[in-house]
Amino acid sequence: MERKEQILKYAEEIEENIIQFRRLLHQHPELSMKEYETSKRIAEELRRLPGMEVYTDLAGGTGVMGVLRGKLPGKCILLRADIDALPVEEENGLEFCSVNPGCMHACGHDAHASWVLGAAMILSQMQEALPGTVKFVFQPGEEMGRGAKEMLEGDHILENPRVDMAFAAHAWPSVEAGKIAIARRYAFGCPGAFSIVIKGKGGHGSWPHLAVNPIMVAGDICTRLPRILSERIDAVEPRVISIGAIHAGVPGVGNVIPEECTMNGTIRATDMEVMKQLAAEIERVVKSCCDLSGAEYEYKSHIGMYGVENDPAMTKLCLTAARKVLGGENAYVIEKDNLGGENFSEYSRRVPAAYLYVGIRNEKLAKPFSLHSPEFMLDESVLKKAAAVFAALIFEANESADFAF
């Protein structure tokens, strides 16, 4: 039996197991760095697999890693899944919907864990023919930017043996179910945030000339921020400034000019230097608007992770493996960069890496939705396909002359 057929056969055999496992995780979601039952269940499943070494209590308590050593010489390859849920109330009516109020797998991490576990199940049955070592990493805390650095720097998961390359995948609502896409360059961008407190002078709404209205200043800031993108940053650079919250005054009271107005927003780019420029330019606009109106301000910015940049050789590897498993028309490149944030960048900055988008869009199953939506819905037929692609990646990386290090 050819390897492709063997992988697909095993994927078919494990499908019901990983669907049920995914549903179990979905029904019992846990927030970042509190994934105690999730990690316990993952470890239990890994321990059932022949030849699997299991390491628990990583990343401060909820990280898990399985290590499978093949019988043939080869590379050490890391497959990563994030496992945390979000503080979202589920609204999709599933029979196995969350039983934890206000907590939901609205980003598909239950699926991520399930298809990496599925790859472990497939490869553990192929250990005699498996080259090298595979590390199956189940990382907590991704939604709050945690877990990755703790496992890499605290638990040293890239060592003993040293990891040669790393891969991850995300359930992607804009890609058709059954297909896999990969960004040509940036799978995720650099996320950042800023907060502004405008300090005016309160007063009566009928005497605005005796006050300094911080709401009016906030309006000026909102009007001028888009000009940063068009006039201060090179137009070829992907970049975003968004205001997500403005708060001032007492709800329902319109005749009182408040003392303060707070604003919160996000900035995104693919280049860290552009992120720093965005943060500085926003403060320049805030200062100018406040000076003009006689207001004072407090400004804070936070630039988080680097972008997840796909290594060109790893991209080629992923496409080759996915096309062999799924068919050539079912794996393709997306030319546009994505400005979402993901701390898989901690891996991709250390070793050659690539991040896949696993399509989950099925309009017969659910109307269009986005990540982090309370209506998030997964086409579970993709679980075995993603598991098979990950399994095929391991062999492709070891056998292709293009990836000889």
pLDDT of 401 higher than 80:
no
Please list the residues that pair with 55 across neighbouring strands. Answer: 65
Q: Is 355 part of the annotated catalytic residue set?
A: no
Q: Are residues 156 and 25 in the same domain?
A: yes
Look up the CATH number of the domain holding residue 168: 3.40.630.10
Q: What angle do CA 355, 356, 360 make, to 5 degrees?
A: 145
DSSP 403: G
Q: Rounded to an integer, what distance in angstroms lies between the CA atom of residue 318 and that of residue 134?
A: 16
pLDDT of 376 higher than 60:
yes
Q: Are residues 334 and 217 in the same domain?
A: no
Q: Is 237 part of the annotated catalytic residue set?
A: no
* Confidence (pLDDT) at 366: 79
How many other CB atoms are there within 10 angstroms of residue 328's CB atom? 10
- Which pTM was predicted? 0.93
Q: Are residues 52 and 108 in the same domain?
A: yes
pLDDT of 405 higher than 90:
no
Look up the CATH number of the domain holding residue 233: 3.30.70.360
How many other CB atoms are there within 10 angstroms of residue 315's CB atom? 20
DSSP 104: B
Single-letter code of the amino acid located at 267: I
CA distances from 378 to 86, 203, 334 (A): 16, 52, 21
pLDDT of 192 higher than 90:
yes
Q: Contact at 8 Å (CB) between 156 and 228?
A: no
* Final residue before a domain boundary, out of 273, 303, 333: 303
Residue 363's pLDDT band, with cuts at 50, 70 and 90, is confident
Q: In the block, which residue shows the tokens 């994505």?
A: 338
* Final residue before a domain boundary, out of 242, 269, 303: 303
Q: Are residues 180 and 255 in the same domain?
A: no
Segment 305-349, tens digit of pLDDT: 999 999 999 999 999 999 999 999 999 999 999 999 999 999 999
Q: Are residues 320 and 287 in the same domain?
A: no
Q: Are residues 27 and 162 in the same domain?
A: yes
* Token pair for 130: 């498996």
* Confidence (pLDDT) at 402: 58
Q: Which of 35, 309, 380, 396 is catalytic?
A: 380
Give mean pLDDT, residues 356-376. Answer: 92
Q: In the block, which residue shows the tokens 């961008």?
A: 189
Q: Rounded to an integer, what distance in angstroms lies between the CA atom of residue 19 and that of residue 278?
A: 43
Query: Residue 100: which domain range?
Result: 3-188+306-403
The burial of 395, by beta-carbon neighbours within 10 Å (0-12 exposed, 13-18 middle, 19 or more buried), is given as buried
Q: Which of 297, 306, 355, 357 is catalytic?
A: 306
Q: Are residues 109 and 151 in the same domain?
A: yes
Single-letter code of the amino acid located at 370: S
pLDDT of 146 higher than 70:
yes
Segment 238-252, tens digit of pLDDT: 999 999 999 999 999
The rounded Cα 39 to chain-centroid distance in angstroms is 18
Could you write out the DSSP letters of every residue in 320-343? HHHHHHH-GGGEEEE-S------T
* Final residue before a domain boundary, out of 251, 279, 303: 303
Give the count of domains, the chain. Answer: 2
Helix (H) or strand (E) holding 374: none
Q: Are residues 7 and 112 in the same domain?
A: yes
Q: Rounded to an integer, what distance in angstroms lies between the CA atom of residue 168 and that of residue 82?
A: 9
Q: Are residues 152 and 142 in the same domain?
A: yes
Q: Are residues 141 and 216 in the same domain?
A: no
Q: Are residues 68 and 184 in the same domain?
A: yes
Q: Are residues 94 and 165 in the same domain?
A: yes
